[in-house]
Amino acid sequence: MTALSTLAARAELRRNWPTWSLAAQFLVVGAATSVLAMLFVGLVVSHLIQSAITKNAGATTALYVDSVIAPILPDMRTADVLDDSVERALDETMQQSALGGSIRFFRLWSDDNRVLYTHGGGPTSTRLPDDDALRTAAGGNVVTRYHDRNVSDAPRLEVYYPLLEPWTGEVIAVAELHETAADLEHELDEARLRSWAAVALVTTTFFLILWAIVIRGSRTIDAQSVALRERVGELSNLLSRNSELNARLHRASERATAFNEQYLRRLGAELHDGPAQLIALAALRLDSPALSSGAGSKRVRDRELGAMKSNLDEALRDIRNICTGLVLPHIEAAELQEILERAVRAHEQRTDVRVALATSGASPTMAPAAKICVYRFVQEGLNNGFRHARGVGQAVRQTYEDGWLTVNVIDRGDGFDPKAAGLRNLGLIGLRERIESLGGKFDVSSSHKGTILEMTLFLESD
């Protein structure tokens, strides 16, 4: 069960690892690496400290042997054994010297591998054992070994020191000394503790400095990632909106072609049914006998001429009204409020109907196409309200907020069904196509309380 739990935890860690922040990843990996590095460096430093302190203690002991014990020994070239006086002198030296209380075992080896002298409890072998330390000392080098409490019952320092002949420098004997190392053990423990503390302090400080740098960078990266995701979201929304606008523009372009044909047919029908009929009627009166042959009284001729003039005047008014709807005033340099006022005032002069105008007073920057769109929307909306609602309660309202321009044309007539009238009303179709071609929205709401035409257009800021 424990193994399964461990495997599950590892799988969960691998699955969640990519979602962790850079600072969290560095904290986990950096902490583990720092602990391992601290352990490795601490062990190496502790070993080096132990080796240095042990060699220093061995050198001190070797100096003692060389300065105190070596002068007591006879000429080992001429004597194969130590006489009783030399052994007694060595015994007294071992007991009364500064190291006497700490020397556990001392043994003197000759150059031919014989034990010359032994002091204290220790090995009983009289021959030189196959020991690397003794062989190294016999070669003229000092060897120092330290054994802690894990190896022996008490900490012990072993020193193997070669005794040299003063004149030739040859090794004539090897002194083997085993010393109680309680003080050395305390010194080593204190040195290890200080070294471990120093290594831990340096490693922790180094890690914390790096972690502070990484967490600062991680926060910057996280903030940039959030900003980037927000930017990507905005771009995705813009792309979606652009795709929608492109589709709407494509549909509007297709419908605009059909609408233009319908508009031209309607214009032709208005010219044919209005001014053309009146002009044709006037032309027929020219062919009347009272005018063509001069027959009839002056009174009849005057009546025919008056009727012709009336027909021609009415035809001229119809043509002017049609031209007034087709020709725009000069609005390219006008502000939004001025455009609305011109459209409203032109409608009031043409129909003698009062229109209420309410504006926000804002003057956003508008392209000429947007200005024409607003003017045509107000013009057509007011014309529709006059024709179908008899101009009752007509009003124009304009607002501007966060780049969105909204214009409403309102009347208080009987209303109509927008779905049923949408396909037959060329004015509404033209308004929708014109507004949607600029990326705007067109909406119609109507009830028995009146009708509201609304256009919404986003104006890009400079």
Output the domain CATH number for residue 29. 3.30.450.20
Q: Which residues pair with 322 in a beta bridge?
A: none
Q: Assess if residue 142 is contained within a domain.
A: yes
Of the candidates 189, 224, 245, which is a domain's last residue? Answer: 189
Of the candidates 189, 219, 254, which is a domain's last residue? Answer: 189
Q: Assess if residue 31 is contained within a domain.
A: yes
Count how many domains the chain has. 2
Distance CA 377, CA 379 (A): 5
Contact of 46 with 81, CB cutoff 8 Å:
no
Q: Please give the average per-residue pLDDT across 25-49, as a whole number.
A: 78
Query: 165 pLDDT band (50/70/90 cuts)?
Result: confident
Kind of pairing between the strands at 356-358 and 395-401: parallel
Q: Assess if residue 98 is contained within a domain.
A: yes
Of the candidates 152, 171, 189, which is a domain's last residue? Answer: 189
Can you give the residue range of the structural domain that contains 93?
22-189
- The pLDDT tens digits of the residues spanning 128-159 come to 454 677 778 777 888 888 777 666 667 777 88
Q: Assess if residue 180 is contained within a domain.
A: yes
* CA distances (Å), origin 195, targets 53, 58, 184, 190: 13, 22, 16, 9
- The pLDDT tens digits of the residues spanning 318-349 come to 677 666 656 566 777 788 899 899 889 988 88
Residue-level pLDDT at 133: 76
Reply yes or no on whether the pLDDT at 350 is more than 90. no
Q: Assess if residue 292 is contained within a domain.
A: no
Q: Assess if residue 204 is contained within a domain.
A: no
What are the tokens at 279?
């002009």
Q: What CATH number does the domain containing 417 carry?
A: 3.30.565.10
Lowest mean pLDDT among 123-137, 200-214, 299-313, 331-345: 123-137
What are the tokens at 42?
């601490």
Q: Please give the average per-residue pLDDT across 63-72, as a whole number.
A: 70
Q: Which residues pair with 441 in a beta bridge?
A: 456
Reply yes or no on whether the pLDDT at 359 is more than 60. yes
Q: In terms of pTM, does the model score above 0.85?
A: no
